C-alpha cells in the first residue's frame, strides 16, 4: 500500500512515460556535464568516505563520483523504480558494480544516524514542497556524521536580467518558488546546518542554477 509520503513522490519530468527522455534533456538542454562536474569538484570525494547521492535519478552524478573516487563507498537513492533500473544499467555498462542503489524518499531516509561523510543532491529539491524540503534537510542532518557536508546543485536565485525574467515565471509554482527566491540557504540554516553558502551559479534553459554547501556542526 502506498503511504502518504510515497503518494507525494514526483517522478522525473513529472510523468513516468517521460522518464526515458530525462538523460537527453539534461545532457543537451541543461548542460548537465558542466554543473554536475562542478558539484563533484566541490564535494571532493575522498578514499573510504561514505557518500549518498540523494534523489540520484538515472545515476549520472553517482557514477561521476564513483569514477572520481573508486575507493569511496557510493550509494544512490531514489523513490522511482524506473530511474533506478536505468541507473543500474548505466553503472553496469560503465563497469562500476560497487555502487549500491537504494529505493527511498528524501523526507524519510532509510539510514541510521551518522551514516555518511557527505551527501550530494542534484536537481531534486525543486520537486519538494516547503514542508518536505524542511523534512529532507532534517533527514540529511540526521544521517550526516558530525563535520559531514551537504552539497547541492538546484534551481536558485537569478543573477542577471535574463534569468530574472525566466525565474519570474518559474517562481509562481509552489515547489520551485523557494528555490528561485533564494530560500535554500535560510532553510538549511534553520535546520541546524553551519557554514552555509552559495558557492556558484550558472544559467540553464529552465532558469538559474545554484551550487550550495552546508556542514553539520561537530
Q: What is the CATH number of the domain that holds 160?
A: 3.40.50.150
- pTM greater than 0.75: yes
Determine the Cα–Cα distance for residues 117 and 124; give it in Å rounded to an integer: 20
pLDDT value of residue 175: 79
Q: What is the pLDDT of residues 186-198, one digit of tens each?
A: 999 999 999 999 9
The string over 174-192, giving b where at least 16 C-beta atoms fall within 10 Å of a residue's C-beta and e elsewhere, is: ebbbbbbeebbbebbeebe
Q: What is the pLDDT of residues 100-119, one digit of tens each?
A: 999 999 999 999 999 999 99
Question: Three cell numbers at 76?
Answer: 544512490
Assess if residue 128 is contained within a domain.
yes
Assess if residue 115 is contained within a domain.
yes
Per-residue confidence at 2, pLDDT binned at 50, 70, 90? very low
Assess if residue 1 is contained within a domain.
no
Assess if residue 7 is contained within a domain.
no
Helix (H) or strand (E) holding 112: none
Assess if residue 190 is contained within a domain.
yes
Q: What is the pLDDT of residues 29-57, one digit of tens each?
A: 666 788 899 999 999 999 999 999 999 99
- Region 175-182 average pLDDT: 85
Question: What domain count does the chain have?
Answer: 1
Assess if residue 40 is contained within a domain.
yes
Assess if residue 10 is contained within a domain.
no
Q: What is the pLDDT of residues 120-147, one digit of tens each?
A: 999 999 999 999 999 999 999 999 999 9
pLDDT value of residue 206: 74
Q: Is the pLDDT of residue 4 over 60?
A: no
Q: Which domain holds residue 172?
A: 15-215
Assess if residue 139 is contained within a domain.
yes
Amino acid at each position: 500500500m502506498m503511504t502518504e509520503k510515497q503518494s507525494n513522490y514526483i517522478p522525473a519530468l513529472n510523468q513516468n512515460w517521460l522518464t526515458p527522455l530525462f538523460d537527453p534533456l539534461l545532457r543537451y538542454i541543461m548542460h548537465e556535464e558542466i554543473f554536475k562536474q562542478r558539484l563533484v569538484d566541490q564535494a571532493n570525494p575522498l578514499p573510504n568516505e561514505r557518500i549518498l547521492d540523494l534523489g540520484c535519478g538515472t545515476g549520472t552524478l553517482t557514477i561521476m563520483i564513483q569514477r572520481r573516487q573508486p575507493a569511496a563507498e557510493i550509494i544512490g537513492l531514489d523513490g522511482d523504480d524506473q530511474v533506478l533500473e536505468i541507473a543500474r544499467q548505466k553503472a553496469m555498462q560503465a563497469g562500476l558494480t560497487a555502487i549500491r542503489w537504494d529505493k527511498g524518499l528524501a523526507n524519510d531516509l532509510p539510514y541510521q544516524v551518522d551514516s555518511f561523510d557527505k551527501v550530494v543532491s542534484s536537481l531534486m529539491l525543486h520537486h519538494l514542497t516547503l514542508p518536505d524540503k524542511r523534512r529532507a534537510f532534517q533527514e540529511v542532518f540526521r544521517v550526516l556524521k558530525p563535520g559531514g557536508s551537504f552539497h547541492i546543485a538546484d534551481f536558485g536565485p537569478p543573477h542577471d536580467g535574463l534569468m530574472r525574467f525566466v525565474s519570474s515565471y518559474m517562481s509562481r509554482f509552489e515547489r520551485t518558488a523557494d528555490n528561485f527566491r533564494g530560500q535554500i540557504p535560510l532553510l538549511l540554516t534553520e535546520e541546524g546546518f553551519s557554514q552555509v553558502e552559495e558557492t556558484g551559479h550558472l544559467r540553464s534553459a529552465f532558469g538559474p542554477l545554484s551550487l550550495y554547501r552546508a556542514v553539520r556542526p561537530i
